[in-house]
Amino acid sequence: MARIQYILTFLLFALVCNAMALIRRAPTPGQLEQVTDFGDNPTDVGFYIYVPENLASNPAIIVAIHYCTGTAQAYYTGSPYAQYAETHGFIVIYPESPYEGGCWDVSSESTLTHNGGGNSNSIANMVTWTTAQYNADSSRVYVTGTSSGAMMTNVMAATYPNLFAAGIVYAGVPAGCFYSDTNQENGWNSTCAQGEVISTPEHWGDIARAMDAGYNGTRPKMQIYHGSVDATLYPQNYYETCKQWSDVFGYTYDSPQEVQSDTPLADWDKTIWGESLQGILANGVTHNIQIQGEEDLKWFGFTS
Ligand SMILES: *[C@@H]1O[C@H](CO)[C@@H](O)[C@H](O)[C@H]1NC(C)=O
Ligand SMILES: *[C@@H]1O[C@H](CO)[C@@H](O)[C@H](O)[C@H]1NC(C)=O
């Protein structure tokens, strides 16, 4: 009798512990929460998540990547995605740079390689965890970012083309442009930043393709924003990035389909190469380019 009682008490205790562990682990909806246990995280990237109170079933995911000196918290408050998440039911992942200075590693061999064990690998693992945990729609995973986060957006699109359906780049550089010839993690590449790395669409395309060598599936469609008077990441990087993706998608860089002036704002010119690539040059705008939230929702397919 005593023995059975003992076993029952033990089972009950185990159940309660389990339930508590579950409660502790599940991020609270409606606020920014850190996830610490999500699988392999070789470079210790921080993982913050916003699960909306109005979570859709089979939700989409947006990965929103901060700028240098930024944090997950800063991008959560400074970008519109969490608010939109409540309207459209998607989940937002805010990765956080592990480095002092808060830039991303977009320069080392490991981050520029599919499953190479760098920052890009950690971010991909956050997507995989979130997809499993929330039964998310793996065909509606999107990535965007500003500045260093924009560089990382291009890197994510090149290293994990299988994971993403679309990307939006706010003031970045082409994938691989920040390459470090000493294989430095998280190195700053002034030659690239100052727009002095100028190449052909084919060369840029080769660099992107090499980041997930042999991949032949669909790739995220890309939208590239840049200010024409950006003095941090020179506007030449806009043209180089558009060259890169035009080659990857098989468009002819020199002959886009259409140019729409004053789109989406006055003095911003949108160049359309095809349904997978648009570039928006914001005339007179500095590095401090504003996120066009409503436009982003359209590109990601939440609105039309
Ligand atoms: C900067 O990147 C370019 C490629 O975009 C590379 O050729 C150059 O060596 C890099 N500079 C440094 C200092 O690593
Ligand atoms: C794409 O790659 C897969 C796996 O390597 C291969 O089985 C398939 O035949 C390839 N498809 C094309 C169109 O090359």
pLDDT at residue 9, rounded to an integer: 62
In a domain, 254, yes or no: yes
Record the tokens describing residue 279, joined without a space. 């570039």
In a domain, 271, yes or no: yes
pLDDT at residue 26, rounded to an integer: 85
In a domain, 5, yes or no: no
| Residue owning the nearest CA to atom 9 of ligand 1 | 181
Q: How far is the CA of 107 from the centre of ligand 1 (A)?
A: 9
The verdict on whether 107 is a catalytic residue reads no
> Which one of 105, 178, 180 would you pick to mutate in the ligand 1 pocket, going by the greatest count of ligand atoms within 8 A of its CB?
180
Q: How far is the CA of 189 from the centre of ligand 1 (A)?
A: 6
Domain of residue 141 covers: 31-300
In a domain, 7, yes or no: no
Q: Residues with Cβ within 6 A of ligand 1?
A: 177, 179-181, 189, 191-192, 197
Q: How far is the CA of 199 from the centre of ligand 1 (A)?
A: 13
Residue 195, Ramachandran bin (φ over 0: left; ψ between -120 and 50: alpha; else beta): left
In a domain, 224, yes or no: yes
> Which one of 181, 186, 206 would you pick to mutate in the ligand 1 pocket, going by the greatest count of ligand atoms within 8 A of its CB?
181
Distances (CA, A) of 16 to 9, 10, 13, 20, 28: 11, 10, 5, 6, 19
Record the tokens describing residue 296, joined without a space. 């982003």
Record the tokens describing residue 285, joined without a space. 């705008």
Quick one: angle between helices 119-133 and 148-159, nearest 10?
A: 70
In a domain, 3, yes or no: no
The list of the chain residues with pLDDT below 70 reads 1-25
In single-letter form, the type of residue at position 29 comes to: P
Determine the distance from the C-alpha atom of residue 173 to the mean position of all C-alpha atoms in its chain, rounded to a whole number: 14
As for how many domains the chain has, the answer is 1
Rounded to whole angstroms, the Cα distance separating 112 from 211 reads: 6
- Tell me how crowded residue 257 is: count the other CB atoms within 10 A of its CB: 13
In a domain, 9, yes or no: no
Q: Which of 107, 147, 148, 246 is catalytic?
A: 147
Record the tokens describing residue 235, joined without a space. 């506007």
Contact 287, 171 (CB under 8 A): yes
Q: Which atom of ligand 1 is nearest to the CA of 178?
A: 2
Q: How far is the CA of 191 from the centre of ligand 1 (A)?
A: 7
Rounded to whole angstroms, the Cα distance separating 3 from 199 reads: 77
| Residue owning the nearest CA to atom 5 of ligand 1 | 177
In a domain, 115, yes or no: yes
> Which one of 183, 191, 211 would you pick to mutate in the ligand 1 pocket, going by the greatest count of ligand atoms within 8 A of its CB?
191
Please, what is the Cα angle at 132 between 131 and 136, to 5 degrees? 40
pLDDT at residue 5, rounded to an integer: 65
What CATH number did the domain enclosing 60 receive?
Answer: 3.40.50.1820
Record the tokens describing residue 64, joined without a space. 């929103």
Per residue in 282-296, pLDDT tens?
999 999 999 999 999
Contact 88, 140 (CB under 8 A): no
Sign of CA dihedral 227, 124, 96, 190: negative
Cis peptide before 220 (omega within 30 of 0): no
Sign of CA dihedral 197, 235, 269, 275: positive
Beta strands 258-260; 268-274: pairing state = antiparallel
Query: What secondary structure letter does DSSP report for 110?
Result: T
Record the tokens describing residue 281, joined without a space. 């040059």
Rg of the chain taking only CA atoms, in angstroms? 21
Record the tokens describing residue 199, joined without a space. 């190449």
pLDDT at residue 261, rounded to an integer: 98
